[in-house]
Amino acid sequence: MGTPATWVREGLCLLPDGAEHAARRTTIEIRDGRIAGLHEPDAAPAAAPGDRVIDGRRHLVASGFVNCHTHSPDNLIRGSAPDLPLELWSLHSAAGREERSPREITVAALLGAIEMLRTGTTTVLDHIRMSPHPTPEGLEAVAQAYAAIGIRAVIAPIVADKPIVQTLPLDPDDIPPNGGGSYGRAPLMPWTEQLAIVEAFVRRWHGGEGGRITAAIGPSGPQRCSDPLLAAAAELSERHDIVLHAHVLETRAQRAMGFRLWGKGMVRSLAERGILSPRANLVHFIWLEDGDLDLVARHGAAVVHNPVSNARLGSGICRLPEMLARGLRIGLGTDSACCNDSNNLLETAKWASMVHANTTPDHADWVGPYRAHALATRGGADVLGLGSVTGRIEAGLAADLVLYRLDAPAFVPLIDPVRQLVHAENGASVDTVLVAGEVVLENGRCTRLDEVALWQEAEDLARRRLEANRSIYAAASELSGPVQRMIRRLQGEDAR
In tens, the pLDDT along 393-440 reads 999 999 999 999 999 999 999 999 999 999 999 999 999 999 999 999
Amino acid, single-letter form, for residue 24: R
Q: What is the third-level CATH fold of 65-383?
A: TIM Barrel (3.20.20)
Query: What is the DSSP track for 387-399?
Result: TTTSSS--TTSB-
HSE on the CB side for 153, CA within 13 Å? 31
* Residue numbers of the chain with a pLDDT score lower than 70: 1, 174, 176-182, 495-496
Residues pairing with 398 in the sheet: 34
Least Cα distance to 273 among 302, 299, 303 occurs for 299
- pLDDT tens figures, 109-160: 999 999 999 999 999 999 999 888 999 999 999 999 999 999 999 999 999 9
pLDDT on residue 397: 98
Identical fold for domains 6-63+394-446 and 65-383, yes or no, is: no
The rounded distance, in Å, linking the Cα atoms of 404 and 428 is 9
Least Cα distance to 74 among 170, 186, 158, 164 occurs for 158
Amino acid, single-letter form, for residue 107: V
Q: Where exactly are the structural domains of the chain?
A: 6-63+394-446, 65-383
pLDDT on residue 436: 98
* pTM value surpassing 0.95: yes
Q: Within 10 Å of residue 62's Cβ, how many Cβ atoms?
A: 28
Sequence-ordered list of residues with C-beta below 8 angstroms from that of 300, at least 6 positions apart, any chain: 277, 278, 329
**Residue 449 Cα to chain centre, angstroms:** 23
pLDDT on residue 313: 97
Sequence-ordered list of residues with C-beta below 8 angstroms from that of 132, at least 6 positions apart, any chain: 98, 186, 188, 189
E strand or H helix at 248: strand 244-248
The rounded distance, in Å, linking the Cα atoms of 53 and 407 is 20
Burial 426-455 (b: 16+ CB within 10 A, else e): bbebbbbbbbbbbbbbeeeebebbeeeebe
Amino acid, single-letter form, for residue 489: R
* Domain 6-63+394-446, architecture per CATH: Roll (2.30)
pLDDT on residue 182: 62
The rounded distance, in Å, linking the Cα atoms of 25 and 39 is 9
The rounded distance, in Å, linking the Cα atoms of 96 and 473 is 7
The rounded distance, in Å, linking the Cα atoms of 71 and 339 is 10
**Strand 218-219 to strand 244-248: parallel, antiparallel, or no bridges (unpaired)?**
unpaired
The stretches of 284-339 forming alpha helices (DSSP H) are 292-299, 307-312, 320-325
